[in-house]
A and B are shown apart, each in its own frame.
Chain A
């Protein structure tokens, strides 16, 4: 396999450091940009993300037009804090209330399409400890400066916060290396050039996002890549090196559950593409075992699966955005 795409469509955040130029190009193309932060109990990190993005990319350089928080039922002060620091805050359940209600990251991102106004939407996870405005400007950079790129995705060296005092230089990305990369290698070798397909930071044009289905939960990153690749090809995708992202470490069992949802999403997608033929429906429960006193007890997790349809098919959306 040649790495032509990787050489051509891979950027470093410093390529877009000239924010004045970026703002000028954005204005020239008459674009609007929305930042969406999906949340669930992120009171420790949400305020810093909002403060830095607002200060650097709204007040100092008017690159973003709005910051929107979509919350899926936080029980801590996430929503209160986000509002205090000036974000537009919505509970996912209150958006398109006539539809069935689901909980999950994909659900929040899908509903954000209805709430936000931008031509470009930037999605950032709300748990980034070392948040910096490069996380947003570097993702919109290729979209503004290129005429072909419609979707950009972050990659980085992911140090895991191993205790409160120290960070280590490398690590992380275990689900990527153990699950998604082997699957891509087997079915779509070309996609292995996307270095961190599961990164939670990406940006794209509304015209792309509104035409693809959104899985409700964790599978959103996987499905998004597969759907965009299938519909528009790899050349509309870019990846940007953000250098370092510090995130909360998750134990192996939690990663296992994440891997389960991602594999399920992947298998559903490749079945639709006719690449595999399932003999029976796949099971929908992840079973893990714990040792309780002297016996092994199963921990069974069920996941809400299924997709939201492309939002352009929703009547309320078409009405709001005046789409015939």
Chain B
């Protein structure tokens, strides 16, 4: 017997194009509302208003203020399917958030991460209506707050902790990059190391203290000397550094941001202990204040490559001439998988300048990205996650 989610998926692209102004308007209108982590309330309000206007069967916010829309399915027995997009962005609210639409692209801060995802999610009632699709499962459209950085995925954690009953499967929707297929997440611990020499010596004495930037440089050198195993795979990424006042004065304070990543939670913890030891050693050696603070952490979790959901995603993507690329993802996916919910993260379109103020999303490839997501929801509704 043929699989309807494979048979029809290519025809969805043209149907999407016929409502392009609805989809693009939603991406732009939601993207123009600043939503740095912990300040997503205006974006959440718009999320709710849009779903209410589209007359979804239920619109609500959970106890944590995640906005949620429910499109009721035909079966009372089948658990719901989640579609998730994080509402927050890395962009400061002072930045000009006005978007631009050109011939084949939309530009704006946070366009890829994740206005496109949120815009498509709130367009979903109109998209499904245009395609004439109905499902057995309820479709839960969830915009989650407090995801990025220090948010530490609190929105999705709270949503799932308080959700009663099983969940059939989930798709996390991200703006970019079309072709990504994330079905496993690494163990991750994100840390800030702060070195402050002024607290250990006041007044003129601190002139003779070592330079805070150079101490963090020594931390980096020693972290790089750590012997990390090939199996389980592990790495430490030094992602951010800042400190000091001016060119001619030694730095009194400095900060280093790094992330430990591994397939194994145990390995993440071991490396974290090693880094703590390095910091303690240098603290003692240089007689300065230095602290390691965990900003966020997620556990390693995975679907098997031969899980029917992964296989269905690959088949849908190939049908759409997409080449699936799999990498670990540390986003909402990790929380869903850790709860044993079959889930994947998919990208909607191609783009550039991912985290810059002029982030770009391609319009043409967007329709293929949406078709792919609808196909995967159909696949879950047809039972691919029920098979294992």
- Which residues on A are within 8 Å of B, measured CB to CB? 43-45, 47-48, 50-52, 54-56, 59-60, 77, 80-81, 84-86, 129-130, 132, 161, 164-167, 246
Smallest Cβ distance from A247 to chain B, in angstroms? 11
- Min distance, Cβ B61 to any Cβ of chain A, angstroms: 21
- B65 interface residue, CB < 8 Å from A? no
CB atoms of B25 and A52 under 8 A apart: yes
Pairwise interchain contact A164-B357, C-beta atoms closer than 8 A: yes
**In the bound complex, CA of A167 to CA of B97 (Å):** 10
Report if B98 contacts A (CB, 8 A): yes
- B100's partner among A48, A55, A86, A167 (CB-CB below 8 A) is A48
Look across to chain B and name the residue whose beta carbon is closest to the beta carbon of A84.
B103
Closest to B102 in A: A47
Task: Quote the shortest CB–CB distance from B312 to chain A (angstroms).
Answer: 32
Q: Give Cα distance in the complex from A246 to B101, angstroms.
A: 16
B99 surroundings in chain A (CB, below 8 A)? 48
| B32 at interface by CB-CB < 8 Å | yes
Chain B residues in 8 Å Cβ range of A165: 94-96, 357
Measured in the bound complex, the distance between the Cα atoms of B98 and A165 in whole Å is 10
CB within 8 Å: A-B pair count: 60
Which residues of A are found within 8 Å of B95, using beta-carbon distances?
Answer: 165-166
Residue of B nearest to A47 (CB): B101
Nearest 5 pairs of A and B residues by beta carbon? A55-B25, A47-B101, A55-B21, A48-B101, A54-B21
Give complex CA distance A171, B22 in Å.
33
Q: List 11 A-B contacts (CB under 8 A).
A: A50-B21, A51-B25, A51-B28, A55-B26, A60-B22, A84-B103, A85-B21, A130-B32, A165-B95, A166-B95, A166-B96
With the chains together, A85 CA to B99 CA distance in Å? 16
- The reply to whether B22 and A55 contact each other, CB–CB distance below 8 Å, is yes
A252 to B25 Cα, complex, angstroms = 35
Given contact pairs A130-B32, A164-B96, A166-B94, A51 touches B24 in the complex (Cβ within 8 A): yes
A161-B96, A166-B96 known; A81-B103 Cβ under 8 A: yes
Q: Does B205 contact A (CB under 8 A)?
A: no
Within 8 A of A (CB), among B294-348: none
In the complex the two chains form, is A167's CB within 8 Å of B96's CB?
yes
- Contact among B21, B32, B102, B103 for A86, CB-based, below 8 A: B21
- Taking a contact as CB atoms closer than 8 A, the residue among A51, A56, A85, A130 that contacts B98 in the complex is A130
Q: How far is the CB of A63 from chain B (nearest CB, A)?
A: 14
Task: Tell me, in angstroms, the Cα distance from A199 to B95 when the chains sit together.
Answer: 26
Q: Given A52-B28, A52-B29, A84-B103 in contact, is the A59-B96 Cβ separation under 8 Å?
A: no
Q: Which residue of A lies closest to B94 (CB)?
A: A166
The answer to whether the Cβ of B53 comes within 8 Å of any Cβ in the partner chain is yes
Taking a contact as CB atoms closer than 8 A, the residue among A44, A59, A246 that contacts B21 in the complex is A59
CB distance from B238 to the nearest CB of A (A): 27
Distance A56 CA – B49 CA, assembled complex (angstroms)? 13
Q: A60-B53, A77-B103 are in contact. Are A51 and B21 (CB under 8 A)?
A: yes
Q: How far is the CA of A50 from the CA of B25 in the complex (A)?
A: 10
Q: Which residues of A contact B357 (CB under 8 A)?
A: 164-165
Residues of A within 8 A of B94 (CB): 165-166
B79-100, CB under 8 A of A: which get 1 and which 0?
Answer: 0000000000000001110111
* A50 to B99 CA separation, bound complex (whole angstroms): 13
| Minimum distance in angstroms from A59 CB to a CB of chain B | 6
Cβ–Cβ < 8 Å partners of A54 in chain B:
21, 25
Q: Which residues of A contact B19 (CB under 8 A)?
A: 59
